Amino acid sequence: MLINKWVKAKAACSNLWHYTNFKRFATQIKNSEDILETPNYEPDKFYEDIKKAYECTVTPSLKLFYNEPLLIHKGRGQWLWDHRGKRYLDMFAGVATVSVGHCHPKIVAAMSEQASKLNHVSSIYMHPHLYEYANKLISKFQGKLKVVYLTNSGSEANELAFLMARLYTRNHTVVSFKNCYHGATYGTVASTAISTWRYPFIVQPPGYLHAVYPDLYKGSWSGSKCRDSDVQVSENKCNCRNGECIASEKYFQQFEESFQFSLPRTHSIAAFVAESIQGVGGTVQYPKYYLKKIYDYVREKGGVCIADEVQTGFGRTGEHYWGFESHGVEPDIVTLAKGIGNGFPLGAVITSPDIAASLNYALHFNTFGGNPLACVVGSTVLDIIEEEALQQNAYTVGTHLINKLANLRSEFPNVVGDVRGKGLMIGVELISNPETKQPLEAERVLDIFENIKDMGVLVGKGGLHANVLRIKPPLCVTKEDADFTFTVIKNALEMHEEKYRNN
Ligand SMILES: Cc1ncc(COP(=O)(O)O)c(C=O)c1O
């Protein structure tokens, strides 16, 4: 009986999937006859061979999503196709990376043209595209942020930012928040504070401190105005006046304590680094004014402030081009990656001439950083965001989606604990008990996650307990895509409710 209902629900959703997607297919992806192609692979053999290679040849610590991992061979805009020709609405964008859409025709054209002219010269010679791109990228920043170093990834950008901060301040400690993610290299993983990413037996490098992070949902303090976004964590009325947030004050006192107990009293910090909204940690937003207070405090202690914009940059959060702008702060160093290259390996560190000059203590060299192809891609991404008003789209579509998803908290109060985020950076925290806010059991989260995929939508998961659905699509998604995503998530929650009703 239960199974019957489940199958029916699935069938209904699958019709919905075909109808909605087919309609949109016709209107949105014009002149792309080739999208209709049936993939000319031998699906089973091809699939099994590749899966085996992933299991046996590629490092075993790479974990694939889904019981039957997806084999993706084609992408366009916000769509991906698997080896069977099934189409998915990509609401995760290769982990918040495909900013302007898969295989954007303008990027394909720019890459092909550049690839036929010049791919690589290394940083020992000049080429015109670095000059062109550096100026264009710097024009997106204000004040003292006038120098750019190009890298190949976010980890590399953060590693370089820590190095510059240490050389500039002549201090060593890098302070980050618990629940943050800043990369997978030796230094950046030491700054990362989510246990999933930390290896046993390895002596972490010295000079990293993890300070308390203000989790408005699970932490001790929150009110009805704490978040700088449409959806608040709490119905609790608060009496904070304009420009004030008591939760922020309380968390700041805790932050200050980490310093008082763990660090020397004077000039002790090289840098404080934070994402503008925690990404891998499960889309965690800080209370208003919080980062501003921390920036002031860190500077008093002789440190510089690093904004990790790897996920929150390039208009993803909607209201601003850079996530840090919504906190009213001016970082000393900004690190960029992911969306900067729409999937092409590219990263950047932006800083002031003074801080940049600190690298002159030695030679600094990066074989691929700033190569002609990367610069052309990066430059085209900036143009597309502007021409297609993608930041505005992130704001409009993201706000629409987050407000719809917020209603799921009252529809499924025993499973949906919190909905948060800004623009097209959204998290839905799944819980097993609204009082204790315990995470939903992994097996149930996976069930929901699988069903969302089966109905044609790809989302991510994150947070310390991997119980937060992460929605970070290409910035070109439409309101229809948002509605479809909402319907699919709602259906998956209904299926979950049905399946576990008596458990
Ligand atoms: C906020 C943040 N910083 C840094 C990184 C590291 O970037 P990469 O994987 O390109 O090294 C990531 C990757 O997920 C990230 O989310």
Instruction: Answer yes or no: is the C-beta of 192 below 6 A from any ligand 1 atom.
Output: no
Q: Average the pLDDT over each of 124-128, 249-253, 255-259, 449-453 and give the range with the smallest value.
A: 255-259
Percent of the chain exceeding pLDDT 70 equals 90
Structure confidence at residue 5 as a pLDDT band (50, 70, 90): very low
DSSP label of 176: E
Per-residue model confidence as pLDDT tens digits over 278-287: 999 999 999 9
Which residue minimizes the CA distance to atom 13 of ligand 1? 183
Q: Are strands 269-275 and 173-177 parallel, antiparallel or unpaired?
A: parallel
Task: Determine the distance separating the centroid of ligand 1 and the alpha carbon of 191, expressed in angstroms.
Answer: 12
Atom of ligand 1 nearest to the CA of 278: 1
Q: Which long-range contacts (CB under 8 A, 24 or more apart) does 52-61 make?
A: none
Instruction: Answer yes or no: is the C-beta of 280 below 6 A from any ligand 1 atom.
Output: yes
Per-residue model confidence as pLDDT tens digits over 410-450: 999 999 999 999 999 999 999 999 999 999 999 999 999 99
Instruction: Answer yes or no: is the C-beta of 153 below 6 A from any ligand 1 atom.
Output: yes
For 160-184, what is the mean pLDDT? 97
End-to-end CA distance of the chain: 16
Instruction: Answer yes or no: is the C-beta of 309 below 6 A from any ligand 1 atom.
Output: no
Structure confidence at residue 35 as a pLDDT band (50, 70, 90): very low
Per-residue model confidence as pLDDT tens digits over 144-155: 999 999 999 999
Task: Determine the distance separating the centroid of ligand 1 and the alpha carbon of 34, expressed in angstroms.
Answer: 33
In whole angstroms, what is the distance from residue 479 CA to residue 459 CA?
16
Atom of ligand 1 nearest to the CA of 154: 7
pTM for this entry: 0.92
On the CB side of 90, CA atoms within 13 Å amount to 26
State the virtual CA torsion across 172, 173, 179, 181 in degrees, nearest 10.
-10
Instruction: Answer yes or no: is the C-beta of 337 below 6 A from any ligand 1 atom.
Output: yes
Task: Determine the distance separating the centroid of ligand 1 and the alpha carbon of 98, expressed in angstroms.
Answer: 14
How many Cβ atoms sit within 10 Å of the Cβ of residue 63? 7
Task: Determine the distance separating the centroid of ligand 1 and the alpha carbon of 140, expressed in angstroms.
Answer: 21
pLDDT of residue 36: 44
Phi/psi at 314 (nearest 5 deg)? 65, 35
For 223-234, what is the mean pLDDT? 88
Atom of ligand 1 nearest to the CA of 184: 11
DSSP label of 240: P
Per-residue model confidence as pLDDT tens digits over 399-411: 999 999 999 999 9
Instruction: Answer yes or no: is the C-beta of 310 below 6 A from any ligand 1 atom.
Output: yes
Instruction: Answer yes or no: is the C-beta of 287 below 6 A from any ligand 1 atom.
Output: no
